[in-house]
Amino acid sequence: MSCLLTCFSSCCASLTCGLCASVASGISNRSARLAYCGLFGTSLILSWILREVAAPLLEKIPWIKSSGTHPKEWYQIQAVLRVSMGNFLFFAVLALIMIGVKDQNDRRDSWHHGGWIAKMVIWLLLVVLMFFLPDSVISVYGILSKFGAGLFLLVQVIILLDFTHTWNDAWVEKDEQKWYIALLSVSVGCYLAAFTFSGILFMWFNPSGHDCGLNVFFIVMTMILAFAFAVIALHPAVNGSLLPASVISIYCAYVCYTGLSSEPHDYACNGLHNKSKAVSTSTLVLGMLTTILSVLYSAVRAGSSTTFLSPPSSPKASAGKKPLLEAEELEEGKEKKKEAEGQPVSYSYTFFHLIFALASMYSAMLLSGWTDTSESSSLIDVGWTSVWVRICTEWITGLLYTWTLLAPLFFPDREFF
């Protein structure tokens, strides 16, 4: 019987290894970006699962509980931070290794696109090893993660600005009436949604009978920003577009909502406090979805944008000035195939991996409520730290977008988006 079990386990192991090998070998240069996104998504799922089930196990590990008795929330945060730290180290090391890669002749270019079996093993080992570190090291990482998460939010805003300007330019370049009508329709729709949503926030977070001046201030500032975006964008001196302004406005309204919904469940001005668990879960899902979309967009955009994440030597960086391939060069297909390996890389591998490293820190803060143990373990991303992080993110988004509109007036010789 034991022999049969041994054979069965050996077969399962060989089949698993074979499956991983086939998946890894099937990852091409183009799909490598999506493979990194898949690995990042796996870490998020693992963090979420361990947050729910690993607390009783961590309580039995002596080097984790060495600093004394801790509540359940502390062990949940430890589980999330340890997975995040392993993920962060994996992408941070890749970012360091890829510094200076400029063309496909560099050996590290093949490291970026290949070696997936080794990468999966290394990633898994790093995550496992993090559970052997003392809690003092993880505490330091938790502090650093707050700064890294803030930096990721800044990058996320830049990605959003890049997306809105690219969307607007793509429709304007078509130079057809139907696309201009579509631009106007989407812009007006986004503005109506932004102001309608802001009105709903007044009902949810300014209940009658309570002095909720802080919440009112946050919501009014959101509406003022939305109005200011339209005024500045449509000013003749700026010559901007209403579409980016409307998209940024509705994003600011969403960020304001996530900030207000993160207020403590016992705060009287949080009109959703009776549904704190459902709201915190929905906020987490939306936050995770935004994070994944930001990382996925940066991964795909890195391979197709003319400027985003592209190093100065990249052909992508100068694609808007002259064609990448002349007509004569296109006819010399055979010669181009021989020289293909020497072509410059299309985007910065270092910055690409750095986005994933920062996203690992941000996802840890999202799942751990910014390492706040004062709230119930059933509530995620709830507390005043989360509130102010969200609100500051909204204001920084407004400042950055305003800067993209006004910067060409101050620096006419430079290009912005």
Is the pLDDT reported for residue 404 higher than 90? no
Q: What is the pLDDT of residues 225-266, one digit of tens each?
A: 999 999 999 888 887 788 899 999 999 998 898 888 888 877
In sequence order, what DSSP letters do the residues of 262-322 get, joined into one string?
TS-TT-TT-TTGGGHHHHHHHHHHHHHHHHHHHHHHHHHHHTT-SSTT--TTSGGGGTTTS
- Tokens encoding 77: 């945060």
Confidence of residue 186 (pLDDT cuts 50, 70, 90): very high
Confidence of residue 29 (pLDDT cuts 50, 70, 90): low
Confidence of residue 149 (pLDDT cuts 50, 70, 90): confident
Is the pLDDT reported for residue 314 higher than 60? no
Residue 344: strand, helix, or coil: strand
pTM: 0.73
Is the pLDDT reported for residue 27 higher than 70? no
Neighbours of 28 (CB within 10 A): 11
Q: What is the pLDDT of residues 86-134, one digit of tens each?
A: 999 999 999 999 898 887 778 888 888 888 999 999 999 999 999 988 8
Name the residue with higher pLDDT: 75 or 1: 75
Q: What is the pLDDT of residue 320?
A: 44
List of residues 6+ apart from 61 with CB closer than 8 A = 131
